[in-house]
Amino acid sequence: MIVFEDVTKKYPTGTVALNKVTFQVDDNDFVFLVGPSGAGKTTILKMILRQITPTSGSVQIDGKDIAGKHFKDTQRLRQSIGVVFQDFKILYDKNVFENVAIAMKVLGEPVGKIKEEVNEVLHLVGLTDKRLMFPIQLSAGELQRVAIARAVIGDRNIILADEPTGNLDPKTTWDIMKIFKKIDSQKTIMVATHNVDIVNSFKKRVITLRDGAIIKDERDGKYEL
CB under 8 Å to 132, separation ≥6 — which residues?
Answer: 95, 96, 97
pLDDT of residue 148: 93
For the chain, give the percent of residues with pLDDT over 90: 79
Cα separation, 129 vs 175, in Å, equals: 17
Give the tens place of pLDDT for each residue, 15-42.
999 999 999 999 999 999 999 988 999 9
Confidence bin at 154 (pLDDT 50/70/90): confident
Each domain of the chain, given as residue ranges in start order, spans 89-156
Residue type, 128: T
Q: Which helix (H) or strand (E) holds 207?
A: strand 205-210
Q: What strands, in cross-sheet order, belong to the sheet with 16-25?
A: 16-25, 2-10, 56-61, 64-65
Average pLDDT in the 158-177 region?
91
CA angle 155, 138, 191 (to 5 degrees): 45
What number of other Cβ atoms are within 10 A of residue 176's Cβ? 22
Average confidence (pLDDT) over 165-169: 87
Gap between the Cα atoms of 8 and 15, Å rounded? 11
Transcribe 163-204 into DSSP letters: STTTTS-HHHHHHHHHHHHHHTTTSEEEEE---HHHHHHHT-
Instruction: Check residue 155 and report its DSSP letter.
Output: S
- Output the pLDDT for position 45: 97
pLDDT recorded at residue 183: 87
pLDDT confidence bin for 103, thresholds 50/70/90? confident
pLDDT for 42: 94
Residue 214 reports pLDDT greater than 80: yes
pLDDT at position 159, please? 95
- Within 10 A of 4 (CB to CB), how many other CB atoms are there? 22
pTM of structure: 0.92
pLDDT band of 185, cuts 50, 70, 90: confident
Beta bridge mates, 210: 213
- Give the model's pLDDT for residue 85: 85
Cβ neighbours of residue 211 closer than 8 Å, sequence gap 6 or more? 16, 19, 38, 39, 40
Phi-psi region of 62 (alpha: psi -120 to 50; beta: other; left: phi over 0): left
Q: Are strands 158-162 and 2-10 parallel, antiparallel or unpaired?
A: unpaired
3-class DSSP state of 68: coil
User: Residues in the chain, how many?
Assistant: 225
Mean pLDDT of 38-48: 95
pLDDT greater than 90 at residue 86: no
Residue 87 has pLDDT above 90, yes or no: no
Q: What angle do CA 17, 223, 182 make, to 5 degrees?
A: 100
Residue 48: per-residue pLDDT? 97
What is the residue-averaged pLDDT of the chain? 93
